Chain A
Amino acid sequence: MRDKSYQALVIGASAGGINAIASLLSGLSTRFTIPIMIVQHRLPVLNLFLTQYWDEAGIFQTKEADDKDSLQSGIAYIAPPNYHLLVEQDKTLSLSIDPKICYARPSIDVLFETASDAYQAHLIGVILTGANNDGTAGLRRIKAHGGLTIAQEPNTAEASTMPQSAINSGAIDKILPLTSIASFLNNLL
């Protein structure tokens, strides 16, 4: 694992995710300089408040992703409510209003799968609390491409279904309590 250089981190969360994401971001160190992309289901229409909340939690600048943003280190990009977030081969972002997938737009699978195509073995995927199984297909793709997959330990999750579904599918490399994910990530870089 150590001989690999990770170039991007994707995070997916649903019910209970707003606090879980803040807690994860606040634990990351200044050495953690790769771009971060986040899908959180069912955000309120305007998440200025939220970007601020997450901004203050971590050392990152958090930003609602705009179409064709090029990914920069030290920035956490959040999928805008009602748009899917996709990663292009040239490491820029795209948005789409394609139909919802499993009732979700943004969909965690759409971000994870496209990010995995763009970053292949250099991607880390983290699935946090949630009450559905979005993200599982995406994590399988990340694993198949040789990336690193992490699930929040279901009994530390406000809603355990989402991480449990990923674990059951066999796509997960590492199961960690929420409070240990950040320090584990810090040690990877």
Chain B
Amino acid sequence: MNTVETEQLEIKLLLEALYHRYGYDFRQYSQASIKRRVLHYLSKTNHDAISALIPSLLYDEKSFKSFLFCVSVTVTEMFRDPWFYDTLQKEVFPFLKTYPFINIWHAGCATGEEVYSLAILLKESNLYDRAHIYATDFNDRALQKAKDRIYPLERMKDYSTNYQKSGGKFSLSDYYHAQYDAVIFDAALQKNITFANHNLATDGVFSEMHLVLCRNVLIYFNRDLQNRVLSIFRDSLCYNGFLCLGSKETLDFSGVRNSFIEVARKERIYQHKNDRGRLER
């Protein structure tokens, strides 16, 4: 067995151990990227082999928490891919307008930048007051930051540009207050948002949704886990509900492909149409 194979085995044992000890399941993540994250965590400890992490992570819950935060990548931004938000407003909002009450699930919301982006656009289309956004992630530290609504001032220049390109009607600075080198977004934006811990690898459907957004999360999963998660989204969505994925993620090779029609290809927006996929199972 060469080094690469040995490391592969060590990671497998580590993830198996963590699943049985804590219930967090990383066994179906993309191997190449989970390996990089594990090695990154390893480099911050004084151990020199992946398998040497197992005892301390099994016995010490505090170490496990920091492992969890290190392994989950919460990189995100406001109005990422502005053309996506533009199309969302043009193609999806008119449908949402026909409902008296709108349930939205933002899965893998990280530190909340995307959630507030959506909240702002909903407000500008007069949809916010009848919307409820469930914003979930399995990283509690990220969820806490999302609830705090505080972001670095230096990012606002790029975010403003993206907000304009997304079809924003006013000025992004209308929605936050700057203080020293940080900004805090208006509490009013958070009124209809529930932040909650939800693990896509182990938890399931929790409510019926009109719109589900899960962007740049599936790329971290292997095909089997992707299919599990997509089935949860399909089962959560009402008939005619919408699913939005990241710009490099697709339903094309998934088990739920037949349950959706493609609304916008480049923007990866799909609409739940029939339940053929479900019957075939």
Contacts and interface: CB of A to CB of B under 8 A. Distances in A.
B219 A94 contact: yes
A88 B32 contact: yes
Contacts of A87: 32
Contact of A114 (B32, B218, B250): B32
Contacts of B33: 86, 94, 96, 98
Contacts of B218: 67
B8 interface: yes
Contacts of B185: none
A97 interface: yes
Contact of A94 (B32, B37, B75): B32
Q: Which of B8, B30, B75, B226 has the largest count of A CB atoms less than 10 A from its CB? A: B30
Interface string A37-78: 000000000000000000000000000001110000000000
B8 A89 contact: yes
A110 B223 CA distance: 21
Contacts of B4: 117, 120, 145
A80 B248 CA distance: 8
A95 interface: yes
B248 A67 contact: yes
Given A67-B219, A145-B4, A97 B75 contact: yes
Contacts of A177: none
B100 to A, nearest CB: 36
A120 B6 CA distance: 14
B253 interface: yes
A114 B31 CA distance: 10
B69 interface: no
Interface in A103-123: 110, 113-114, 117-118, 120
Contacts of A68: 223, 226, 253
A58 B8 CA distance: 36
A39 B36 CA distance: 18
Contacts of A114: 32, 36
B140 interface: no
Contacts of A120: 2, 4
- For chain A, the bracket of interface size reads 20 to 34
Interface in B24-40: 30-33, 35-37
Nearest to A115: B32
Nearest to A70: B253
Contacts of B31: 88-89
A32 interface: no
B30 A97 contact: no
A94 B75 CA distance: 17
B262 interface: no
Interface string B228-262: 00000000000000000000111001000000000
Interface in B1-36: 2, 4, 8, 30-33, 35-36
Contact of A66 (B8, B36, B250): B250
B274 to A, nearest CB: 25
B2 to A, nearest CB: 7
Interface in B174-233: 216, 218-220, 223, 226
B32 A86 contact: yes
Interface string A3-47: 000000000000000000000000000000000000000000000
Contacts of A98: 33, 36-37, 73, 75
Given A83-B219, A145-B4, 19 more contacts: A66-B250, A67-B249, A68-B226, A68-B253, A80-B248, A88-B31, A88-B32, A89-B8, A94-B33, A94-B219, A96-B30, A96-B73, A96-B220, A98-B36, A98-B37, A99-B75, A114-B32, A118-B32, A120-B2
Interface of B: 2, 4, 8, 30-33, 35-37, 73, 75, 216, 218-220, 223, 226, 248-250, 253
13 contacts: A66-B250, A67-B249, A68-B223, A68-B253, A86-B36, A95-B248, A96-B30, A98-B73, A98-B75, A117-B32, A117-B35, A118-B32, A145-B4
Interface of A: 66-68, 80, 83, 86-89, 94-99, 110, 113-114, 117-118, 120, 145
